[in-house]
Amino acid sequence: MNVLNKKHFLTVKDHSVSQEIFDLYYDEDLDMLITSPQPSLENLGKYYESEDYISHTDNKRSLFEKAYHFVKNIALKNKLNLINSEQPAKGKILDIGAGTGDFLLTAKNNGWETVGVEPSDRAKNIAQQKGISFVEEISILENASFDVITMWHVLEHVPNLEFQISELKRLLKPTGTLIVAVPNYKSFDANHYGAFWAAYDVPIHFWHFSKKSIHTLFEKENMKLLKVLPMKFDSFYVSLLSEKYKTGKMNFIKAFWIGLKSNLKAGKTKEYSSHIYVLKNK
């Protein structure tokens, strides 16, 4: 998507790896922000080269990492309950951006047939040791072959957004369910931290979605948005990182207060730090 004629929204920094500066532009039609410039596929990998990229490791070195994995285990149960409620008969599930494989392992242990896609060899190797199966590219998968497709904080990472969405449509069974989780730049914590908001995560987050943008993008593929669910833990995690970027320290008490305040505000505005979108074919 071209940023020409788009309104400049914010200048942000890659705090975690390169320290480079990027701009966010506002797409009015989609109510979405676009990162510019976006790295080429050849250079993209270097922006993930951080020991602190927590979703690509099973590290529990610090209190922060231990807390992350404690919350992660709760979230895994919630995710399993969600897919089981949408598809009680179970079946075949594809997780795009499967990381170290814990979600697919949880689903597999509950009777699902699982397949993952993960570009990070480091994360994939950890997942394979847990017995998770992968394919290299979703392009090799058959049409209408999955009962559930999930992307947990992954859609914001994909370079060719509209093509990716068309592939999701192609792979999903007519009665299947698509579940997409992404950060929400309209949340209180996003507004509070501004350029220091960790969920901007430039340049590996190419896109920054609102509820309108998800509805509009998937409507183009004749898919219906059925539910928008909150991810209440995300406000605390993102606030901790945002405090670190802003002050050099995590400031646990301050971050907890901002995360709590974000969730309380969202009780009225319905703009949580992150949302889960449940979509189906029309």
User: Comparing 57 with 9, which gets the higher pLDDT?
Assistant: 9
pLDDT score recorded for residue 59: 59
Domain ranges of the chain: 7-49+61-281
**Is the pLDDT at 58 greater than 80, yes or no?**
no
**Model pLDDT for residues 60-108, shown as the tens digit of each residue:** 666 666 767 678 889 999 999 999 999 999 999 999 999 999 999 999 9
DSSP annotation of 170 reads: H
55 pLDDT exceeds 60?
no
Q: Which fold has domain 7-49+61-281?
A: Rossmann fold (3.40.50)
- What pLDDT does residue 56 have? 52
With a pLDDT cut of 90, the percent of the chain lying above it is 87
For 115-157, what is each residue's pLDDT tens digit? 999 998 989 999 999 999 999 999 999 999 999 999 999 999 9
Would you say residue 187 has pLDDT above 90?
Answer: yes
pLDDT, mean of residues 36-43? 95
Take residue 12 and report the two structure tokens written for it. Answer: 């942000």
Tens-place pLDDT, residues 214-245: 999 999 999 999 999 999 999 999 999 999 99
pLDDT value of position 262: 98
- Give the Å distances, CA to CA, from 129 to 54, 60, 124, 132: 18, 18, 9, 7
pLDDT at residue number 1? 83
pLDDT greater than 60 at residue 52: no
